[in-house]
């Protein structure tokens, strides 16, 4: 198995700029990367240790782009546990980012809503999460060089970054919401009873990603910011099953708004945290 440090070294030899920012783009959000000036584009198939993403509308490219003068590495497409990959493979790209020197990770996803106040199309800043995947990506040998054995998950979603994004959203006149994300493995969608249980636990959004990457990034000391785009009401509010088409449609519309927030965030955070 390829070591993430080898992949990071492979990238260090090729990337024309070493980014401090990275963005993982979820379902339906891959296009966001292409609206910025692309500096370099590497297919996952060329990246040592990367598996290929099988999920629909996940592209499988690493893109280095110029966002308002700041180099940002975009991962177009992620690996999900439900695809049958080992959890080590799911978090491999995040580990590579850490070894590459990325300090700020933005994670995006498409999620189902557990609250009537969060309709399809809502942009939701993740404030906290519940790991209900039945697995933790840090199980196994701990690389002390990377992080500690028992990393804190107190405020994994950086409060300063969240506040900065709130300010940007309100300046731009974009409505955003806040919510707790519960991660399940999928691929089957949740039953009504499961949705009711999750809502009762305090979850607002349900999805099949993000939490493994966030735990891994926090372990490695990166700052983390995450947003969901609500693509559908969960089965709590449905009599009919919802389709994959419905899920992808909504991701596209709100993606443009989220992109504007994140571009400005990158610019201001790079100055605020001296990440250039
Ligand atoms: N459930 C789980 N994951 C999802 C959903 C959902 O309703 N929508 C988008 N990703």
Cβ of residue 111 lying under 6 Å from some atom of ligand 1: yes
Would the pLDDT of 109 be above 80?
Answer: yes
Q: Which residues contact 255 (CB under 8 A, 6 or more apart)?
A: 28, 29, 31, 32, 229
Per the structure block, which two tokens stand in for 105?
């990770």
3-state secondary structure of 51: coil
Handedness of CA 113, 231, 122, 219 (dihedral sign): positive
- Longest CA span, the chain: 53
Return the pLDDT at 252.
63
Cβ of residue 234 lying under 6 Å from some atom of ligand 1: yes
Q: What DSSP element (H or E) covers 41?
A: strand 37-43
Share the mean pLDDT of the chain. Answer: 91
Question: Which residue's CA is the closest to the ligand 1 atom numbered 7?
Answer: 112
Indicate which atom in ligand 1 lies nearest the CA of residue 208: 3
- Contact of 18 with 12, CB cutoff 8 Å: yes
Best residue for ligand 1 mutational test, from 119, 182, 231, 243 (most atoms within 8 Å of Cβ): 231
Q: What is the dihedral of CA 4, 73, 271, 145, to 10 degrees?
A: 0
Would the pLDDT of 26 be above 90?
Answer: no
The per-residue pLDDT for range 186-245, each reduced to its tens digit, is 999 999 999 999 999 999 999 999 999 999 999 999 999 999 999 889 887 776 556 666
Q: Which domains does the chain have, with CATH numbers?
A: 4-272 (3.40.50.1580)
Q: 53: pLDDT confidence band, cut at 50, 70 and 90?
A: low
Would the pLDDT of 29 be above 70?
Answer: yes
Return the pLDDT at 247.
59
Residue 182 main-chain phi, psi, to 5 deg: -105, 130
Best residue for ligand 1 mutational test, from 129, 198, 232 (most atoms within 8 Å of Cβ): 232
Per the structure block, which two tokens stand in for 76?
């177009």
Q: Which residues contact 242 (CB under 8 A, 6 or more apart)?
A: 189, 232, 233
3-state secondary structure of 90: helix
- Identify which has the larger pLDDT, 254 or 104: 104
- Per cent of the chain over pLDDT 70 is 92
Would the pLDDT of 34 be above 90?
Answer: no
Return the pLDDT at 255.
87
Question: Which residue's CA is the closest to the ligand 1 atom numbered 2?
Answer: 207
Mean pLDDT of all residues in 249-260: 79
Q: Which residues contact 143 (CB under 8 A, 6 or more apart)?
A: none
Cβ of residue 236 lying under 6 Å from some atom of ligand 1: no
- Identify which has the larger pLDDT, 2 or 162: 162
């Amino acid at each position: 198995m390829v070591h993430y440090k080898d992949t990071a070294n492979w990238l260090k030899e090729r990337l024309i700029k070493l980014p401090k920012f990275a963005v993982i783009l979820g379902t339906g959000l891959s296009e966001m990367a292409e609206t910025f000036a692309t500096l370099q584009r590497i297919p996952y198939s060329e990246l040592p240790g990367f598996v290929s993403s099988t999920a629909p509308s996940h592209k499988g490219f690493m893109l280095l782009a110029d966002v308002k003068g700041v180099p940002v590495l975009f991962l177009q497409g992620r690996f999900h546990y439900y695809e049958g990959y080992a959890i080590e493979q799911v978090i491999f790209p995040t580990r590579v980012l850490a070894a590459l020197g990325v300090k700020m990770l933005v994670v995006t996803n498409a999620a189902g809503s557990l609250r009537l106040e969060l309709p399809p199309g809502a942009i939701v800043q993740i404030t906290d999460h519940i790991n209900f995947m039945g697995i933790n990506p840090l199980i196994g040998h701990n690389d002390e060089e990377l992080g500690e054995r028992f990393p804190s998950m107190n405020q994994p979603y950086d409060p300063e970054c969240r506040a900065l994004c709130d300010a940007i959203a309100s300046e731009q006149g974009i409505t955003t919401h806040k919510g707790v994300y519960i991660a399940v493995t999928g691929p089957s969608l949740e039953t009504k009873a499961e949705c009711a249980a999750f809502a009762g636990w305090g979850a607002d959004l349900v999805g099949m990603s993000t939490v493994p990457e966030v735990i891994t990034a926090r372990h490695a000391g990166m700052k983390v910011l995450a947003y969901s785009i609500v693509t559908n009401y969960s089965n709590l509010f449905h009599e009919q099953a919802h389709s994959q088409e419905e899920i992808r449609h909504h991701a596209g519309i709100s993606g443009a708004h989220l992109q504007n927030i994140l571009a400005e965030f990158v610019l201001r955070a790079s100055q605020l945290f001296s990440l250039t």
